[in-house]
Amino acid sequence: MRLRRIRLTNFKRFADFEAQFSPGINVVKGPRNEMGKSTLLEGIIVALFRDPKSAAREVKAYASWGSMDQFRTSLEFEHDGNGYLLDKDFDRGTVKLTGIDSGEEIHTFKEVAERMDELVGTKSDKLFVCSCCIRQSQVAEISEGEKEIGESLEEVVTGGRESTLASKVIQKLESKISDMRKGLDKPARNPGTIATLRNRLQDASLRYEQVREEVSRVEAQKLELVEVTGQLGQVKDEHEKCRALLEKNLKRQEIEAEIERLSKEYERVQGVLDRIRKHEDDLKKAEEALAATGFEDKQQVVELRRKLDDARRQREDIGRDMAEREAELAAARERQSRSGLIGFVGSGKGIAAAAAILAGGMVGGLLGPVYLIGLTVVGAVLLVVSLRARISLIRDRAGISGIEERVRSMKESLGKLGREEQELLAKSGCSTGAEFDEKEKSFRHWLEKKGEARYRLDEALVGRTAEDIEKRRLGLARDLAVEEQKLTDDMKQTRVSPEQFMELEERVRSLEASRAELEDRRRKVMATIDAANHDAEEQTRLEEEIEGLREALGRQEKKAMIYELAGDIISRARLDVLSSADEALQGEIQRCFSLFTNGKYQRVSVNKEDLEFWVYSDEKGDWATPSELSGGVIDEFSLAFRLALARLIFSDKKPPLILDDPFVNFDPERLTSTLDFFRTLAEEYQIVIFTLSDDYDAVADNIVLLNREERLL
């Protein structure tokens, strides 16, 4: 398993923090303590194992101080080439494990924990911390996870026998540790060796501090007085120089700011003038174009347009009516030409003939035979028909005459309208209506351009005149020249960058504080010189006594540390597991321990009777407990033991190994060989080292800088 990325939101000191990890060795650095190393380590463990629904006080305590909301974690990692994203929201109590490549999603903590057990090798944060997290302050301890380590070792090897022996050995170790540490937690009538040595060391240290302070006070004060006086002179000189340079740059900044302000104002005023000139040109162009049309004003154009439109509409109406009348006249004439019989009957001759027949019939009926009476009837009928035909002819002729008269009147009206239209076109200087339309279009276009130019010009002037704005521009040019003359060559040569200016300000403040502090120290030194009540011989005797007590206390504490380590190991796994796993565990410890000590200690043994650890020393030619060796050897042995546990418990899962400054007691030569080992180990395991130093940069594949972005090598 390898970590890729972690994001912590509202998690202790991190409001919103993200770090990237790469395969191999990752070094997490902060410039000093309290920068978040421990917080990030805890964040990794919480992201891997903790239940977001947990109401435990230690889980709630991870939220940022003063925040009403809980925290969130997001951890991206890979296993066997497959990517996973584990999101936990401790505010909502939700969890989601997503397979980045497969798209699989798990949303319950129980299922997520089971899957993490498959991927990491455990679902227990205690087991992970006790085996894979190695902190400098706990490098020789496994404070929790006894049950988890025991169960894990049982899965590695077959169970054993003699389960009661483990409890007896544990009781024996606990008894030894209790006797040694008796009186540390609370006062005791007969304190143990560690408490006794600590009390003696504390008493001797108090006496020594009193003697040392009294013996060295006078000489130290005199030396400090000389040192402070010299430092004060140097600080005064540097302070004056830095202050003069700072004031000169402040003056230059004020001048440059004024120059920049005047330049921007000059450019703005120049832009206004340019716009005014453009609008004036546009206005002049529009006025010239309007004059070229020959129209006096818009009212004239509107009036001419109205009259022309009226004349056109009248001509069109008369034309349509005249066409209808001409068609009607042609139809009447055609009807008249087709009615020849009716024309004869209705003529004077037809009426006279009908009247003669009627008269002849009437006379014949009186004088002659009866059949002549029929002529009277025929004559009467012919007379009636002739009279009706006559009336029809008169009516048709009157209609044709009226139509002809109306057509002549319409033609006269058309002629008059045509003359009026030509007179109107002549007033506008046009010969045709199309020419007037084009000239009117041009007039309206330029009239609109003129109005727009006038509006833009008034908008730019804002109640001023172009002369006023020009005066303003000239005044700005003069002011700008005056300010530029103030910027002397000396100011330009002593220019510093913004970053340097900030550093200079900080330096002046620092020097002022240093000057005040040194002057205060000088006064105190001169006022506190006093005579000593003890001599240097007593100081030397106390130094020797304290050194002996420290060595004795160190041996006892190391011995208790080894006992604790053995007790922790035994309490995490039953004796049958340790019996079965002893050969593999001892071999793995021996291999790593030999490498960490550059081959100086190649043989390690575990005594099953009292569960003490032994290391063979070539210098002594005999076996020795780690407590009899140096503090660095204890750390090296403990580190080897943790790595052996991780290899045996997790086997091929290979979870990341997290180390919090575990090499502080390693000498340079052993540190080099150890780092070479971890460089090789990084081919199998991902390693995360938390540190304050730069000692591990050379072997790092990735560096995460706290309070800064991570840097990939």
**Per-residue pLDDT tens digits for 409-456:** 888 888 888 888 888 888 778 888 888 888 888 888 998 888 898 888
Tokens of 629: 């060796």
Average pLDDT over residues 607-611: 47
Is residue 687 over pLDDT 90? Answer: yes
What pLDDT is attached to residue 160?
A: 37
Sheet of 702-705: strands edge to edge?
Answer: 133-135, 657-660, 687-691, 25-29, 702-705, 711-712
Position 290 confidence tier, pLDDT thresholds 50, 70, 90:
confident
More confident residue, 401 or 118: 118
DSSP state, residue 656: P
**CATH no. of 298-427:** 1.10.287
Between the alpha carbon of residue 161 and those of residues 167, 376, 584, 606, the distances in Å are: 13, 169, 18, 17
CA–CA separation, 681 and 654 (whole Å): 11
Beta strand 657-660 with 622-624 is: unpaired
Average pLDDT over residues 336-359: 61
Kindly report, residue by residue over 149-176, the tens digit of the pLDDT: 555 554 554 433 334 445 556 677 778 8
Give the residue among 329, 336, 332, 331 at the shortest CA–CA distance from 411: 329
Amino acid sitting at position 297: D
Q: What is the DSSP string of 105-160?
A: EE-SHHHHHHHHHHHHS-S-HHHHHHHHEEEGGGTT---S-HHHHHHHHHHHS---
What pLDDT is attached to residue 332?
A: 74
> What are the residue boundaries of the structural domains of the chain, listed by start?
122-191+535-654, 298-427
Position 357 confidence tier, pLDDT thresholds 50, 70, 90:
low
Give the residue among 474, 691, 650 at the shortest CA–CA distance from 33: 691
Amino acid sitting at position 73: T
Amino acid sitting at position 660: D
34: alpha, beta or left? (left if phi > 0; alpha if psi -120 to 50): left
What pLDDT is attached to residue 159?
A: 39
Kindly report, residue by residue over 49-89, the tens digit of the pLDDT: 999 998 888 888 888 887 778 899 999 999 988 999 999 99
Kindly report, residue by residue over 13-25, the tens digit of the pLDDT: 888 999 999 999 9
What pLDDT is attached to residue 461?
A: 84
Give the residue among 391, 347, 356, 352 at the shortest CA–CA distance from 375: 356
Position 372 confidence tier, pLDDT thresholds 50, 70, 90:
low
CB 346 within 8 A of CB 392: yes
- pLDDT mean across residues, the chain: 79
Kindly report, residue by residue over 617-674, the tens digit of the pLDDT: 777 778 877 667 776 777 777 788 778 878 888 878 889 999 888 888 888 888 888 8
Q: Which of 114-123, 151-160, 562-571, 604-613 has the highest mean pLDDT?
A: 114-123
Average pLDDT over residues 512-524: 87
- Largest distance between two CA atoms of the chain: 205
What pLDDT is attached to residue 619?
A: 76
Kindly report, residue by residue over 460-513, the tens digit of the pLDDT: 888 888 888 889 889 999 998 998 888 888 888 888 888 888 888 888 888 889
Average pLDDT over residues 129-136: 78
What pLDDT is attached to residue 39?
A: 87
598: alpha, beta or left? (left if phi > 0; alpha if psi -120 to 50): left
CA–CA separation, 295 and 272 (whole Å): 33
Least reliable range by pLDDT among 113-117, 169-173, 285-289, 408-412:
169-173
CA–CA separation, 16 and 206 (whole Å): 47
Average pLDDT over residues 94-101: 94
